[in-house]
Structure 1
């Protein structure tokens, strides 16, 4: 065991003990965060506009601060972007994380000197949690790669601006710099295909131990590696044993990854966003990710099926239940207040509080009242492919309301690596899995309002070509698993 891995185990134990302290007192921890946030922002413009000085309880906060999305918060954000101080949070932000919004164009999410450290600590602690649980630390001596956006930053009225992953690249600790790949020059390449090819050249002869990124884009990297070396990734990198990912559910990719790698590797799931780092997988045996309750974020939860009603109840951490689909609402030390980030979560454990990301509140299918969510389509596909040779590269689902003949249906657009021998039988497996999960969908099938799903095969690289056509190839961009319209479905090719 090297000095570095020995030190990592000691540090991991210390962080685990600190984590246990706040995780064992969740309600008190969140109450403390809440009061600190209100107190620190009381003299900001937002705080004065919403009577923060009078807020003593969560109910006071609910009465004074309505739930907002980016569009509703935009008048305040625009003042911050113009360089004004003390608007949403005291002083000015350190950075703006630039993200692409669906309705508002580019979004500028503030990152402050108070919020930025938690983005870095959470990613570090996820790895330390894994070390503490498994005792595995040898990987710290190997090379690590983080597939991410360019670290080149622009200037916006004296505030640095860039993609979150590019901003975070500036905070990699010194003890990891020697191990970290790709090189700065390669990381700065904007064109994703050019960048991945350069990363392959840089890494193919290295001892890669940890690989991290959004699964769909890591898959592209693995495919190019395998093609160039003509052998599985696990043979190219014999010490590669840990995959760290976030952004999308890994399960639909797992079988394909294991085929590309040639063996199973451990994985750690993260739940980061420009708005905050919310959770990470703290156990290899328990389902879900540990919700970070002491990271300068106060959480509220609205039941997804009540979200569009007038004045839905906003639950705090002590009021949530297992298995319910909640819209995640956050207030943060970056100056986001009762902010709807658009993600939905379900709790898998209440001691400690662990969540899975179940989808996006805007990404669902309810063309007939079925309210199908991402978690359901991902689980159905996983169930249908279990114990089979079928492997899926990518997929999305959309309603077909006006078919040329027969009843309406849900169209599953799938790019197969290995397709099933009998496509209709495979479709029925998926449909049965959907019906078990979603009673509304089952009622529509039974009542002959819908027919069973129809699978359309998308040609190889069809999804990559689509993402490229809309300028969202690579980086932190993600394909929606499903949508209530055919905007994506009608642009995809068919075999």
Structure 2
């Protein structure tokens, strides 16, 4: 065992012991963060506009600070981007994380000196938690790859700006940097396919032990390795033992990814966002993600059923219930206040508080009143695939097909890129439809009432999703395909590429 692997074990034990303190007193930990961030931001532009100096309780905060998304806070973000100090947090941010917006174009999320440890320690502690539980630290002695965006930064308003993964790349601890791949020269290549070919060149002969990235882009990396060698990943990288991922639900990709690897490897799910590192899987015994309640972020949770109400209920950590879908709202030492991140989560444990990510608040189908969400379509497909052995899916999305002809039924169209197509597609469609009916009673009622006909599957050709993402300039990096949408823009784009 190398020195890094050996030294990581006592460090992992220390971090585990320290975390028990806030895990035992989660409500108090969150209250302390709220009080701290309000006090420190009281003399900012936002703090003065919202009377932070006189806010004492969460109820006071709710009255003073409404829930807003990026567009709702854009005037403040623009002032930050233009280089004005003391707008949302004292001073200027040390970085702006650049990410894609829905209606406002590119978003610039501040990362402050106070908030950067949240991003760095979240990722680090996910690995240390794994080491503490399993005793496996040998991966630290091999090569580690993080498939990410370019670490090359520009300046906006005098502030270093880039993709979150590129920013974090600059903060990889020195003791891991020698193990890190790919090289900086390769990592700054913007074209994803060119970059991936170079990554294969650099890693194919190395002792890779940890591989990290968004599952569909890791799968592209594996596909290129296999095309180059004709071997399974376990034979190319026999010491590969840990896969770290985040950003999308792993289940739809799991079968193909492990088939490519050729053996089981441990995996850690993480929940990083430009707005903060929110949670990570702290145990191999269950898939729940430990919500980080002591890391500079104060959380609020709005029941999804109330999210679009004028005055929705805003719950704190001590008020949430298991099994309920909540929209996630953040206030933090990055200068985010009542900020709707756009994600939905569900609690699967309260001791400690663990979540699963269930989708995006804007990603749903309710063209007919069914309000089908991402979690439901992913679960329906996962359950269906269990009935059809040997069938696997590379990628999929779901869209409504609204009939314009009298007598012709409307339905949900599932656009699926199969690795192996079902021999009996009608049976596959029936099973998938039945699984979705079990998960969503509104959809079931519409099917039984003949408002909707049974869903239909459109099998797309190989690489259809990659070709579409390429056509949109979104191939690789942190870009993800929406699981479902309430219009046909994505579906029609896929069919017309």
Q: Within 2, Cα distance between the matches of 1:243 and 1:382?
A: 20
Following TM superposition, by how much is the alpha carbon of 1:494 offset from its aligned partner in structure 2, in angstroms? Answer: 7.9
1:75 corresponds to:
75
Map residues 221-236 of structure 1 onto 2, 5 A cutoff.
221-236=221-236
Map residues 382-461 of structure 1 onto 2, 5 A cutoff.
382-386=382-386, 388-402=389-403, 406-461=408-463
Map residues 49-198 of structure 1 onto 2, 5 A cutoff.
49-198=49-198
1:35 alignment partner, SS class: helix
- Runs (4+) of structure 1 exceeding 3 A deviation are 403-406
TM-score in terms of structure 1 length = 0.99
1:470 corresponds to:
472
Following TM superposition, by how much is the alpha carbon of 1:453 offset from its aligned partner in structure 2, in angstroms? Answer: 1.1
2:295 corresponds to:
295
Q: Within 2, Cα distance between the matches of 1:92 and 1:161?
A: 13
1:284 corresponds to:
284
Instruction: Structure 1: give runs of 5+ residues left out of the alignment.
Output: none
Following TM superposition, by how much is the alpha carbon of 1:493 offset from its aligned partner in structure 2, in angstroms? Answer: 2.8
Following TM superposition, by how much is the alpha carbon of 1:235 offset from its aligned partner in structure 2, in angstroms? Answer: 1.0
Deviations 1:34-67 (A, max 9, x none): 1001000000010000000110000000000000
Following TM superposition, by how much is the alpha carbon of 1:401 offset from its aligned partner in structure 2, in angstroms? Answer: 1.1
Q: Within 1, Cα distance between the matches of 2:333 and 2:55?
A: 17
Q: Within 2, Cα distance between the matches of 1:360 and 1:159?
A: 29
Following TM superposition, by how much is the alpha carbon of 1:3 offset from its aligned partner in structure 2, in angstroms? Answer: 2.5
Q: Within 1, Cα distance between the matches of 2:183 and 2:310?
A: 51
Q: Within 2, Cα distance between the matches of 1:417 and 1:386?
A: 15
Matched, 1:206 2:206: yes
2:414 alignment partner, SS class: strand
1:364 corresponds to:
364
Q: Within 2, Cα distance between the matches of 1:397 and 1:152?
A: 35
Q: Within 1, Cα distance between the matches of 2:309 and 2:102?
A: 22
TM-score in terms of structure 2 length = 0.98
2:461 alignment partner, SS class: coil
Q: Within 1, Cα distance between the matches of 2:399 and 2:495?
A: 14
Deviations 1:150-203 (A, max 9, x none): 010001121101000000010011100111100010001000000001001110
RMSD across aligned positions (CA): 1.1
1:486 corresponds to:
488
Q: Within 2, Cα distance between the matches of 1:435 and 1:376?
A: 10
Task: Give the number of equivalent residue pairs.
Answer: 495
Matched-pair contact (CA < 8 Å) for 1:244–1:270: yes
Q: Within 2, Cα distance between the matches of 1:385 and 1:460?
A: 19
Following TM superposition, by how much is the alpha carbon of 1:310 offset from its aligned partner in structure 2, in angstroms? Answer: 1.7
Following TM superposition, by how much is the alpha carbon of 1:360 offset from its aligned partner in structure 2, in angstroms? Answer: 0.3
1:43 alignment partner, SS class: coil
Q: Within 2, Cα distance between the matches of 1:282 and 1:5?
A: 19
Deviations 1:333-359 (A, max 9, x none): 010100001000000111110011100
